[in-house]
Amino acid sequence: MNKITQTWLGAYIDSVNKVLSECEYLRYTDCYRDKVIEAEKYSVSAGGKRIRPVLCMAFYDLFGGREDISEIASCLELMHTFSLIHDDMPEMDNDSLRRGKPSTHAAYGADVALLAGDGLSILPFQIISENALAGKIDLKTAAKLTQVLSEAAGHRGMIMGQMMDIYSEGRANEVSVEFLTEMSRLKTGCLLRASCLFGSILAGADDSRLDNAAEYADNLGLAFQIVDDVLDVTGDEKLLGKPTGSDLERNKPTFADILGIDKAKKLAASYTRRAISAISLYQGSEFLSELALGLVDRKI
């Protein structure tokens, strides 16, 4: 990733982090009533690459947007954080560490974590609708964003991907690359696609631009997941902030497992090329190209 891309990326991340840390919606006091909001804030503040809001803002800029959309962009991080909290729960992956810190249920108990995930799944819709009613975004845009986000995160999107993930556990030897591809499209791809569409919709992009954004997102999502699987085998535990080999231990099928590390890396590179070519016709697409390349080369 070159210097300009890094600076640009840093600016995006800073503006999302600022919104998330100052967000009125996540303000809490010491009162027990606010414990769920405190747990939400804990989880949202635990770091992370902020890739979803970054994609939203980058597509907004690519397609000529001129306003500050970081609050709307942060909705994608809130929805993502909801999925992480519930995914870590004892009845799901039962992970007690996330990004090197106790996961939400380990820090606050499973009951509070359950409610914190619930709160974060609903909050984005409140933020979008209140922005619309305050005249900050127009009403049709708000309806589109609500539709895109609810479909992407819902039971035929991200949640269906989680269901496939549950099903796949203990079936490492039974499932195919096609199964993994579909699971990845749903589990991580849908929300990445929503992120790219968010920025495009906010910028008033036409259908062909929306198609290109979706094409970039779909390919990036697959590359991203494959790299994730590879890192679970080859990654540095200290950098990742969680133990490696967890997929293997649970007998969960992964791209690395089925294809082998080398082939998996090649497949990720091929999806990345496709992602880049989907947007290469647009002036100013270098940031998104570099971002895609950076995500394949990442160590965490």
Interface residues with its own copies (CB under 8 A)? 32-37, 40, 82, 86, 89-92, 109-112, 114-119, 121-123, 125-126, 128-130, 132-133, 139-140, 142-144, 146-147, 149-151, 153-156, 159-160, 162-164, 166-167
CB of 186 to its own copies, least distance (A): 8
Give 116 or 222: the residue with its C-beta nearer to its own copies.
Answer: 116
Nearest distance, CB of residue 240 and its own copies, angstroms: 24
* Nearer of residues 188 and 285 to its own copies, judged by Cβ: 188
CB of 185 to its own copies, least distance (A): 12
Q: Measured from the CB atom, is 142 or 259 closer to its own copies?
A: 142
CA torsion 217-219-222-223 (nearest 10°) is -110
Nearer to its own copies, 86 or 265 (CB): 86
What is the nearest approach in angstroms of its own copies to the Cβ of residue 26?
9
User: Using CA atoms, how far apart are residues 199 and 61, in angstroms rounded to an integer?
Assistant: 8
Q: How far is the CB of 106 from its own copies (least distance, A)?
A: 13
User: Residue 205 or residue 295: which is nearer to its own copies going by CB?
Assistant: 205
